[in-house]
Structure formats: C-alpha cells, structure tokens
Amino acid sequence: MSLRKFIAVIHPRAAVVLHDLLMAALAWWIAKSLRYALVGGVSVHFHLLEFPLVLAVQGLVLNWTGLYRGLWRFASLPDLWNILRATVIGSLAIGLILFLYNRLEDVPRSVLLVYPVVLSMLLGGPRLAYRFWKDSRIDMFQSQPVQRVLIVGADRAGEALARDLHRDSRYAVVGFVDDHDSLRGASINGRPVLGRVELLPELAREVAAQMLLIAMPGASTEEMRRVVELCDQTGLPYRTVPKLEDVVAGRAQFNEIKEVAIEDLLGRDAVELDWTAIRETLTGKRVLVTGGGGSIGSELCRQVARLGAQSLCVVDNGEFNLYQIAQELRQEFPELLFDPILADCGDPAAMTRLFVEYKPQVVFHAAAYKHVPLLQGQLRSAFRNNVLASRNMADLADRHHVECFVLISTDKAVNPTSVMGACKRIAEIWCQNLDARSTTRYITVRFGNVLDSAGSVVPLFRKQIRAGGPVTITHPEISRYFMTIPEACQLILQAASLGKGGEIFALDMGEPVKIRDLAEQMIRLAGKKPGTEIPIVFTGLRSGEKLFEELFHPLENYTATAHAKIFLAQYRQVSWDLLQAQLVKASEATVAYDEETLRRCVSSLLPSFRWSDVAQPDNVVSIRRNESGEK
C-alpha cells in the first residue's frame, strides 16, 4: 500500500482518536477544576504522570467499547450509549490506576463522579453536531427541484425512510399519515403526523404533496389495497417499500423504494408453515425437480436449496431456462451438489440413466405444457408431455424406490373442459392408482393461476399496457384464482411433508379475482386511466375456457388437513386394468400420430369430458390470433 493510500485510510480514524483524547484531557481538567473551585482558595495541582495515565486508560476503554467502529456521519443513540458506558467504565478504571499510582493523592472522589458526565458531553456533542450539519446541509449544485413527499405509515419503517430521504436533497418529507391513535399530533424527526390514513386525499392537498410513499411493510393485502385505493384518489404518483417477507428472503432491501406491483394487491398474508416437517422431508435428501427452469420449477429449486438438500438434480428441455437457473443456483448456493440435465421427461432412456446415476429420493414433477388455447388443437403434444412423460417419471420413481413423488397439477384438471386439463387429470389418475401398488408415496398438488408466471395473464397485460393498449380480456365476468409463486411453492413443500401417499391436495387459493378488475388495477398502477387512456377490449371465451375455475370435483368431497391452507380431495376410483390398457393404446396412437384414437382413449378414461368445444388442428391459427392470455 502506498503512503498516500495509507494516510487516506488512517487519517480519519486518527483524527477521531486524537479528538477523543483531547476531550478526555479537557474533561479531567474541567472536573478537577470545578471541584477545587467549589472549595475556594485552593489551587489545582496535577501530578507528573496524572494526565498520561488518564489518557492511556480512557483511550483503551474507548477502543474496547467499539466506539471507533461507528461513523460520526451516522451517530445515533447506540453511539451515545457506548460513550456513556465508556466514560463510566473509564472513570472506574482511572480511579483504580491512580489509587495504585499515588493513592489518589490530590484527586478528590467527587472528580471521578463529575468526569464521566463532562466527558460524555464533550464526546457526544461534536458527534451529534456533525451529523446534524451533514443531514441539514443543502447541495447548492443540485439542479433537480425538491419533491414534497408525504409518507403513509409512521411506524419504524416510516421513520427510517424519512431519515434516509432527509439525506437526499431531492426530497422533502412534509409529514406522515397513520391510523395509530397514540401517534396523533406527534412529531417524528421534526415532521408532524397529520392524521389518519382515510384522510389521505384531503391531507395530501393541504400540504401540497407531490409524491406519496407507502411505508407499511407489514401491512396485510387488504390493508394495502385500501391504501392504494386512497392513493389513487389523490391523483399523485406513489411508491412503496418491500414487504417484510421479501426483505427476509433477500429479494429486496428494507428501505428500497419501488413501484406498487399487482402482487402487492393480489397476494395474501404470509403463509405459516411447519418448517420442521418440511426439513425432515428434504434436508439431506437427493432431490430431483423436473421443469426446473419454469416459473414454479425454478422457485422450487430455490426453496429446496435453502432447505439444505444433499443434492439437487434439475431436468428441463429448454436450454436457456436451464442455463438461467443453473447460473443462479451456482452463484447463490456454491456448496450445493447441483446437476442440470437438458432432457425430455418423456425420453425413457435419458430418464432411466438419470435415475440410475443420481438415485433421487424426492421427485417434484413440475414439467408440463400449460397454455390452454395453444394445446386445444394439439392433443398429441399435450398427451405426450402431460400424460406419457408423467407416467414415465412416475414408473421410474416406483422402479427405483423413490421415497416421495409429487405431481404438480392444476385446478383445470377438475371437471376438465380443455385438452390441458384433461391430460393433467389422467396424470393424476395414474399417480393415484400407482400409489396403491408401490412403496413410493405419490402425492398430487393442485392450484390455480400463479401471478407473473411465464405465459400468464399478468405479464401479457403488462406488455399490452406498455404498448398503449388495448388490454384484451375474453369475457367481462371471467374470474380466476391467483397465488404468488413463492406461496405456491411453499405450500407444495408443505403438502409433500403432509402426504402419506395417494392424496390429491388442493391449495387454498383465496377469493377468485375478476380478470377485468385485475386489468383495471394494473392500468391504474401504470399511472393511466382504464377505458380512456388504455382501452379494454373483450374478445369472447376461447375454446375449452371456463368462465369460473373449480378447485374440487363434486364427487371429491374435500376435508381439512393439519394446514389451514391445504385441503384433501377424496380419491375417485378408476379401474387399474382399464387405465393400463387405455394408456398402452394411447402410447401407440401417439407414436402413429393417430389423434382420433387418442380422443377415444381420453373419452374412455374421462367419460364426462366433451370434445365438442375442442378445436381441431386447422383452428389453431385462429385460436392464437384470438389469444388474450388467461391460462
């Protein structure tokens, strides 16, 4: 290190140490002078080694208490506590050393009481004054005008946010709004709490606010929706801080300001999980995730890696998706034994080799085609990937004595009206029947739409809004269940820990959301007016699409489980002989590209499934042209 760099590093600390030692000497002189001044007529006398001993002892104590690890720029209550602690301990230590040196000659006992009080003021005063000067200093070269900010939420997050903004000369915090009665009329960092949140539109006008910042990281989704609705009424731009669970999971910084996302308004309250049971299922296990590059599969990989799996094998037939999740996991979890496999789950040779080499103990089968309109005219592709590939993986799990096999299914498998839903239902039937004949536990987990997953309605609407519209919706009354990707994956892991084998677990999706309401809210979050600045167009229901989704079949009388957000659907019996015979016939029809035979096989296994609404292959182009994005 060069001398210049050495001085640049050492100098600020040296200046602080020198300052504190000078203050210690001054405090000792003041304390002793005050004591003798009160007596009167007696001159102050200092011994030869008195000051060196005081400075040496006090300097060591100041360093021991960690005072020099803090910065004056951010001096706060913890620093003042450190100063008080250091001065009291220093006074006791000085008294002991001087007693050993000269039996405290010419040092009255009251000096040891006055000294820490004086030194605390001399050390704390300059630090607080320096911070105040730095916080209040205005950058004269700042060309951007100051923006008046009103903070919604006067709790700890709001106070911390106000402090951070105070250091940024682009913003001026004009006040807070909060519903806590104890804060009414209070002042935080010199800024008043103006009133309740319900008065936000009026208060924003009164203080001439130019921006609203929502500092409520612990707010429930319902509370967040209410606040956003009030923010919309002001007509002002608004931002928020991340939720606590996102901060804890490392997905965001605590005081990071971000735009309000639709996930903040449609997500639900944090899920309470039995992490002990989940860890018992996964920790130290060899785990295989298929479709690991997809929205659900990639999040499952992250969760499994965090839970301490012995090894993780990820299968995906999309090269770029697999590359992305491989790069992420290797960076985030460098000690994890990780193997990305570029392969098709319907390839028996590749999958057999995988099971032989990696010997997985837990399998999450998330690989599937999921886009309803696209699959309507492509029965062969849907059946091959969603049924035959699932059967291949389930059979290999049985043959290689896997402990647990989890099939990721969908609410569209309930009373299916689409090719995708019908194929997923047949995969469910195979796993349920196989469970009765295997030592492997086969568990099926159903859930509805996942917010912001690839190919879902949210990214489509976002793209359409950025393009200036129109936003396309199939029907004014169409509704869907929504769940965030992390919540869905956490509940999948919980279901895996609950399952004994053969169950179909359905996740509590909350209340269904009208797609029209979703579109309008996303338009408003983008700062536009729905219907005028961004038009909404209704295109009509597509082939195989339901107006309302179902989570359970009428014959699957569901019951509660140990987890409040997971329900158990009762098993519906299907003949094993019929199932085997039809899948053999369907497999041969797939090889021969005989879709008529495939239809008959599906009808035999699902008698209630109607083909009248299913588009023929020559209609695929028109389906794509009419695509509006609901899954």
Q: Is 283-625 in the same CATH topology as 147-260?
A: yes
Q: Say which amino acid occupies 549.
A: E
Instruction: Determine the pLDDT at residue 139.
Output: 46
Across 384-514, the runs of DSSP E, i.e. the strands, are 404-408, 441-446, 449-450, 471-473, 479-480, 482-483, 504-507, 513-514
Residue 529, φ and ψ in degrees, nearest 5? -100, 125
d(CA 314, CA 298): 9
**If you search the block for the tokens 């002892």, which residue do you land on?**
57
Beta-carbon contacts of residue 68 (< 8 Å; ≥ 6 apart): 13, 16, 17, 62
Domain 147-260 belongs in CATH node 3.30.565.10: no
pLDDT digit string, tens, across residues 265-285: 666 555 667 788 888 889 999
Conformation bin of residue 630: beta by default, left when phi > 0, alpha when psi is -120 to 50: beta
Provide Rg for the chain, Cα atoms: 34
CATH fold for the domain made of 283-625: Rossmann fold (3.40.50)
Instruction: Determine the pLDDT at residue 191.
Output: 80
User: What DSSP element (H or E) covers 350?
Assistant: helix 348-358
Positions in the chain whose pLDDT score sits under 50 = 1-11, 138-142, 615-631
What are the distances in angstroms from CA 572 to CA 71, 264, 430?
67, 37, 12
Residues 367, 345 contacting (CB under 8 angstroms):
yes
Is the full-model pTM beyond 0.85? no
- Per residue in 378-388, is it b (16+ CB within 10 Å) or e — as a string? bbbebbbbbbb
d(CA 256, CA 160): 11
d(CA 451, CA 449): 6
| 460 exposure class (CB count in 10 Å sphere: 0-12, 13-18, 19+) | middle
Parse the chain into domains and list their residue ranges: 12-136, 147-260, 283-625
- Residue 433's CB is within 10 A of a number of other CB atoms, namely 20
